[in-house]
Amino acid sequence: MKYGASGFPIKPVCEEIQRVADLGFDYFELSMDPPEGHWTKICELENQIMAILADTGMPVICHLPCFVYTPDLTPAIRRASLDEMKHSLDAAAGINVHKAVLYPGYITGMGMFAMDAAKKYAHTALTAIVAHARDLNIQLCFENMFPSYHLNFEPESFEDLFKEFPGLKMTLDTGHANIGDPEQTRLGQFVTRFAPYIGHVHISDNFGKKDDHMAVGKGNIDFKSLVSSLKQAGYDDTITFEVFSANTDDLVNSRERIEFLFSNA
């Protein structure tokens, strides 16, 4: 298993890489959101980023931009959003990224009253992004979301995706799966139904109300059951800790707790 941590795109990328390396993680997950993670910044700093990755011995995974609107009903917004995704993939390839996390588009505004059209636009964008990533030899890992995204948050919505895009993998996000799921069955269903497609995992905790990004054990997610299911399924790949706490111990302790659960599952 390889354990990584996310950078905070408000802070300089090279400083974040060094921080994650100093905490003993195996790799760095680059959040490609502005201001510091935007693709223009990554291209500008490509040589420096490559140097610090080499110096720390850290591979890098990227998280493509979160705050773009590929399903928007306005054509110019859709075009700009898709351009941001493609440029981000190009910048990622420039720093030897081979795995990228992809959010489904966020349906908002009038799109909530024209869901069929918004979903069609999201699908069109996904088709283009998948093709671009394939050309760059980057593995896309499509992330499960939560109900306010209005798509791709229930296991059922992933069935057709994996049939249509056989090269697509999944980023299983524990925090997202727990939101709006009082019975706490959704996370287990994702593992049971899609274990062969899981190519990346995001770990954080919450109480099922919002995406709090808390440390493992601070919310109500049953990580013992999750780890048992993942281990039984043979998962042995990348796990990124998205624990956004001012206390660094929360991040490190979360990794140590998950490591312990895997070793004792």
CA 42 from centre of chain: 18
Per-residue pLDDT of the chain (265 residues; tens, 9 = 90+): 999 999 999 999 999 999 999 999 999 999 999 999 999 999 999 999 999 999 999 999 999 999 999 999 999 999 999 999 999 999 999 999 999 999 988 888 999 999 999 999 999 999 999 999 999 999 999 999 988 887 888 999 899 999 999 999 999 999 999 999 999 999 999 999 999 999 999 999 999 999 999 999 999 999 999 999 999 999 999 999 999 999 999 999 999 999 999 999 8
**Domain span at residue 73?**
2-264
Prediction pTM value:
0.96
Amino acid occupying residue 120 = K
Predicted pLDDT of residue 46: 98
Per DSSP, what are the bridge partners of residue 141?
101, 169
Predicted pLDDT of residue 226: 98
- How many folded domains does the chain comprise? 1
Summarize the chain as % helix, strand, coil (round to 5).
Answer: 50, 15, 35
Predicted pLDDT of residue 105: 82
Between CA 122 and CA 129 the distance in angstroms is 10
- Check which CATH number belongs to the domain holding 218 and give it: 3.20.20.150
Predicted pLDDT of residue 148: 83
**What is the full DSSP assignment across 107-123?**
P-GGGGG-HHHHHHHHH
Predicted pLDDT of residue 259: 98
